[in-house]
Amino acid sequence: MVAPLYKLHCLLKRAQMLLLCLGIAYLMAGSILLLQRSSIRVAQPNLASLPPLLSLAAPPTALRTTGLGVRARSRWATIQAVSGGGAKAGRHWPASRSLGVQHLHRRWFHSLLPESPEQRVSLHRNSRHKGTYIGCFLHNASDRALGGTMLYDLRKMTSSLCQDTCSESGYQFAGLEYGAECHCGNRISSPRAPEEDCSLVCRGERGSPCGGVGRLSIYKVEEQLPGHRKFRNVHYRGCFKLLKSTIVTFPIDSFQPNLTTQSCIETCTDKELPLAVFKRPHCFCTWTSSLFSLTQQSDNQQCVENAALNHTTTSAPSASTERDHYQVYHTPVLDSRCKERMFLPQRSSSLVALSSFPGAGNTWVRHLIELVTGYYTGSFYFDGTLYNRGFKGEKDYWKSGRSICVKTHESGQKEIEMFDSAILLIRNPYRSLMAEFNRKCAGHLGHATDAQWKSKDWPEFVSSYAPWWASHALSWLKFGRRLLVVHYEELQRALLPQLRLITAFLNVTMTEERLLCAQSNQDGHFKRSGALRPSFDPFTPDMRQIIDSFIHTVDQALQSRNFSGLPQEYLPR
């Protein structure tokens, strides 16, 4: 009798110890998850020299999100990426200058994404990319392999996508890091690394090397014949009268007897310089500066006359006069002074909204604000597509106080009063409705088909969303505490003056150089092309009558609050 009791006693003791160990393991696992999901405070560099920011109190409130529907008018969120990682996962993404900490953050976030055994690429394998694989190179804070522009796509990055992006931006090399980040450049400025360090494959493509931690898998993109390269983000800056003593200080002076605008832009793009200064037969390349501000701009006719004079002169070019007129172009190269972005160095107790009706250009304005201030913008929602394209504030909790402003489409009194101040972005309702319908039908960069415009969904969409366009603006005018009204069309017409107003409202000090280099990359990678439109006018006379009445109502409300009225182009149509 004693022996069975003793065995039972020993079994119970072992069971107690087992339960105790399991309990401890459970608590430890829960603590680790809690630490990962909470904000991690890291040492910050000396930031005393950074500009002051608003510091106002924001009342507590809960984040509310619901799915999109045709008739959903508030608290709507794009949640298509939740299944791949979750809106909550990685909600707090701390800013850190420490490369080691950044690597830990990246390891943890990418561990949330699905990974198969094929994710590890066999080294030296012939892959299906278009260009030539060069090798694995160091890419960290001290050794930057490629210094050009960057593109993020944490779910669909491929070597072809990266190479196409770099080629269209005028670069010869494309480098992929950590399976999701694309870097471009025209020269490789770091030493090689062991091939086994670049053992990750691209998230959207198996079989191609796609970098590692602080390592780039670099490809030489397909070469195109001179004069046949197609660039994005090439803008004519204007005609400027410059001193000869200033011109000789530019880092590149290329003499080309048969110089063309295209060849000059190609020359400066290859040299990774953002400005091409052009006067036959000389092509100068330089950085953006206050020399090329709007106040210094000359009449374009001066440059046209100079070009005609040079073209008719058959003798050797004479010495330049003390002052001469030059045509200036922005190349696709993004100035290094506006590439770096970060979260606010100190958490702000003030919440600034960037509020707009859907389709009013909120994403484009966020891109401009991030370029001109260097700080990430946040969002009341979570849009995985935007996060994957570089808007890192999408995953940060909107009340964290680490973003310069927060995107929202809310129009209820409670939601409006959560914010201490707001930039109210207003766009022509006809254009806004079409842009939002395009997004719902074909995503951020796509266009609806003629069949979709002719379907019953379009009239239902207009009847639901057109009143929302008016109520959104009216609600913010009524309940907003401190407002800056920005019209999308004015931002297009006078970009620099409008950006100055926005940054002054955000209480951010910026340099003229950063403002100018933001202008050179104003379109970015997330602005829908306006080339494809429906082959007919989708607005019926009844629709126009309703929308025009809303335009008049909002115009009167703006003027009653001492704001300028809506642009004249809104009416008549």
DSSP 383-419: -HHHHHTT-GGGGS-TTSS-SS-EEE---SHHHHTT-
The pLDDT of residue 365: 93
The pLDDT of residue 225: 53
The pLDDT of residue 460: 92
pLDDT class for 43, splitting at 50, 70, 90? very low
| Residues belonging to the chain | 573
The pLDDT of residue 517: 67
pLDDT class for 539, splitting at 50, 70, 90? very high
The token pair that represents 261 in the structure block: 């605008």
Whether the CB-CB separation of 422 and 355 falls below 8 Å is answered with: yes
Is the pLDDT at 57 greater than 50, yes or no? no
The pLDDT of residue 121: 41
Last residue of a domain, one of 159, 193, 221: 221
The pLDDT of residue 545: 92
How far is 447 from 470, CA to CA, in rounded Å? 24
Does one domain contain both 476 and 386? yes
Tally of domains within the chain: 3
Average pLDDT, the chain: 75
Average pLDDT over residues 451-456: 90
Average pLDDT over residues 353-360: 92
The pLDDT of residue 186: 82
Asked if residue 68 belongs to a domain, the reply is no
Query: Is the bond into 281 cis (omega within 30 degrees of 0)?
Result: yes
pLDDT class for 10, splitting at 50, 70, 90? confident
The pLDDT of residue 573: 45
Is the pLDDT at 424 greater than 90, yes or no? yes
Is the pLDDT at 62 greater than 50, yes or no? no
* Least confident among 29-43, 126-140, 199-213, 480-494: 29-43
DSSP per-residue codes, 257-302: TT--HHHHHHHHHHTT-SEEEEETTEEEEE---GGGSGGGEE-HHH
Does one domain contain both 200 and 259? no
Q: What is the CATH classification number for the domain harbouring 527?
A: 3.40.50.300
Is the pLDDT at 26 greater than 80, yes or no? no
Asked if residue 400 belongs to a domain, the reply is yes
* Least confident among 202-211, 224-233, 247-256: 224-233
pLDDT class for 311, splitting at 50, 70, 90? low
Which residues, listed in sequence order, are joined to residue 218 by a DSSP beta bridge? 135, 175
The token pair that represents 221 in the structure block: 């993109």
pLDDT class for 130, splitting at 50, 70, 90? low
* Least confident among 67-71, 280-284, 436-440, 466-470: 67-71
Average pLDDT over residues 344-363: 91
Asked if residue 40 belongs to a domain, the reply is no
Does one domain contain both 146 and 281? no
Average pLDDT over residues 397-409: 93
Average pLDDT over residues 366-389: 86
Is the pLDDT at 527 greater than 90, yes or no? no
Average pLDDT over residues 43-49: 37
The pLDDT of residue 55: 34
Does one domain contain both 272 and 352? no
Mean pLDDT is highest, among 311-320, 336-345, 369-378, 529-538, for: 369-378
Q: What is the CATH classification number for the domain harbouring 283?
A: 3.50.4
Q: Which residue has the higher pLDDT, 336 or 124?
A: 336
Does one domain contain both 214 and 251? no
Average pLDDT over residues 42-65: 35
Does one domain contain both 267 and 388? no
Average pLDDT over residues 45-71: 35
Is the pLDDT at 165 greater than 50, yes or no? yes
User: Which phi-psi region, left, alpha or beta, contains residue 105 (left: φ > 0; alpha: ψ -120 to 50)?
Assistant: alpha
The pLDDT of residue 28: 76
Is the pLDDT at 250 greater than 80, yes or no? yes
Q: Which residue has the higher pLDDT, 572 or 440?
A: 440
Does one domain contain both 268 and 402? no
List % helix, strand, coil for the chain (3-state, nearest 5): 40, 15, 45
Asked if residue 288 belongs to a domain, the reply is yes
Q: Which residue has the higher pLDDT, 18 or 436?
A: 436
Integer CA distances (angstroms), 289 to 51, 167, 275, 523, in order: 21, 26, 10, 20
Whether the CB-CB separation of 133 and 219 falls below 8 Å is answered with: yes
Average pLDDT over residues 53-81: 33
Asked if residue 526 belongs to a domain, the reply is yes
Last residue of a domain, one of 221, 252, 287: 221
Is the pLDDT at 510 greater than 60, yes or no? yes
The token pair that represents 498 in the structure block: 């409008």
Q: What SS3 state is found at 123?
A: coil
pLDDT class for 153, splitting at 50, 70, 90? low
Average pLDDT over residues 563-568: 89
Does one domain contain both 174 and 248? no
Is the pLDDT at 232 greater than 90, yes or no? no
Q: Which residue has the higher pLDDT, 41 or 337?
A: 337
Asked if residue 33 belongs to a domain, the reply is no
Is the pLDDT at 344 greater than 50, yes or no? yes
The pLDDT of residue 336: 62
Does one domain contain both 254 and 214? no
The pLDDT of residue 463: 92
CA 306 to chain centre: 39
CA-based end-to-end distance of the chain: 100
- Residue 62's nearest CA partner among 472, 418, 382, 405 is 418
Whether the CB-CB separation of 143 and 189 falls below 8 Å is answered with: yes
Is the pLDDT at 302 greater than 90, yes or no? no
Does one domain contain both 467 and 538? yes
Does one domain contain both 211 and 279? no
Whether the CB-CB separation of 481 and 424 falls below 8 Å is answered with: no
Q: What percent of the chain has pLDDT over 90?
A: 26
How far is 487 from 471, CA to CA, in rounded Å? 17
Is the pLDDT at 125 greater than 60, yes or no? no
Whether the CB-CB separation of 92 and 37 falls below 8 Å is answered with: yes
Q: Which domain holds residue 552?
A: 338-570
Asked if residue 94 belongs to a domain, the reply is no
Q: Which residue has the higher pLDDT, 499 or 52?
A: 499
Does one domain contain both 375 and 247? no
The token pair that represents 520 in the structure block: 């050179």
Last residue of a domain, one of 333, 354, 370: 333
Asked if residue 76 belongs to a domain, the reply is no
pLDDT class for 309, splitting at 50, 70, 90? low
Is the pLDDT at 119 greater than 90, yes or no? no
pLDDT class for 1, splitting at 50, 70, 90? low
Mean pLDDT is highest, among 87-91, 198-202, 382-386, 495-499, for: 495-499
Is the pLDDT at 176 greater than 60, yes or no? yes
